[in-house]
Homo-oligomer: A and B are copies of this chain.
Amino acid sequence: MTTSFPMNAGDGPYSFSKNSQLAREVLEGSKEMVRDAIIGKFDIKTMLSSSNTLCIAELGCSVGPNTLIAMQHVVEALKDKYLSQIMTNSTNNNLEIQVFFNDHVTNDFNTLFRSLPIDRSYYAFGVPGSFHGRLFPSRSIHFAHSSCSIHWLSKIPKELLDEKSPSWNKGLIHYIGASNIEVVNAYFAQFEKDMEMFFNARAEEIVQGGMMVLITPFSSYVRLMKFFGSSLTDLVNEGKLDESLVDSFNLPMYFPSVEDMAKVVEKNDCFSIEKIELTYPKSKLVDEADAKTLMINLRAVLEGLFINHFGSEIAKEACERTILKSEEISTWMKANYEKSCQLFVALKRN
């Protein structure tokens, strides 16, 4: 079994559903590309050769408005494609769409279900389970979408925690900022293994000619996580937190480069890359108020992990201290914002 790392549940002040502007930014950055992939590359006629139903998988949906907005975009693009490719030859408009919202069994599906739009034009389903394994029957999915999810590793490579290993990640909570290349290699090796499982499962589930779109978060937002690391270091220096507890904690995320992604896709010969592209953020989230919002967003993502490892008191203190660093963070953002990018990949099942 793989480990799960759910976002903060419910709809309280630090819940993911109320603090997902970061993920929204990623979504906005990929909206047109998802549409272009569907309009340009998705062969809806072949997909509907034996039925009138399209099945969409949303992998790693979490909660909150973003997954619903993303699915709305996908459904609208599919309908437009249907109208242009099918309806020109027919007057029989009876397309039906199923959307399967997937996430770990620990995800807050109750909140997700209660936020589904009443007037949605698709049938909605929840699918509990890890997307590193099988979720759907063979050849049952026509289009899969995953935004801000595949960078979550199924587990932390053991060697990062082993002081006898060359990959020991002493004093840090992630490979970002690590000078030891072995740390990065250990993270990538885990990502490769996870993606192998991911692609093997999707290769069975997605019909021939079906598509999958994968989107990772903006890199500068990702790097903001280091400020949580420095808050933990502060707590160590003040004697409030044992150093070994920081040494034994690593964030289970790997952010692939274009080359990394191409490599993991090529290992599985069932998918071909239709498009792989870096995009840069349109909005400017760099002033102090923005920095604070971004850090509260990251808190909603990370706090559960911190609580599990450090206990709720240290987790709360580390999060609150990090949010107070908004001036420093704003300065860092101004210097690094332009370089921020997200990775977009559109794949087709051969």
Contact = CB atoms under 8 A, between A and B. Distances in A.
Interface of A: 1, 50, 52-53, 94, 96, 98, 100, 105-106, 108-110, 113-114, 116, 118, 123-129, 134-138, 140
A114 B109 CA distance: 11
Contacts of A118: 1
Q: What is the copy number of this chain in the assembly? A: 2
Nearest to A94: B138
Q: Closest 5 A-B residue pairs measured CB to CB?
A: A126-B126, A113-B128, A96-B137, A53-B137, A125-B125
Contacts of A116: 105, 128
B126 A100 contact: no
Contacts of A123: 127, 134-137
Contact of A138 (B52, B105, B138): B52
Contacts of A135: 123
Contact of A113 (B52, B109, B136, B138): B109
A106 B53 CA distance: 27
A126 B140 contact: no
A279 to B, nearest CB: 33
Contacts of A129: 124
Nearest to A205: B123
Nearest to A110: B110
Contacts of A136: 123
A137 B126 CA distance: 15
Given A116-B128, A123-B134, 20 more contacts: A1-B118, A50-B50, A52-B137, A53-B140, A94-B138, A96-B137, A105-B114, A108-B110, A109-B109, A109-B110, A109-B113, A123-B127, A123-B136, A123-B137, A124-B127, A124-B128, A125-B125, A125-B126, A126-B126, A126-B127
Contacts of A53: 137-138, 140
Contacts of A109: 109-110, 113, 126
17 contacts: A1-B118, A50-B50, A52-B138, A53-B138, A53-B140, A96-B137, A100-B125, A105-B113, A108-B110, A113-B126, A116-B128, A123-B127, A124-B127, A124-B129, A125-B127, A126-B126, A126-B128
Interface centre among A94, A108, A127 (most CB of B within 10 A): A127
Contacts of A1: 118
Contacts of A94: 138
A52 B204 CA distance: 13
A46 to B, nearest CB: 16
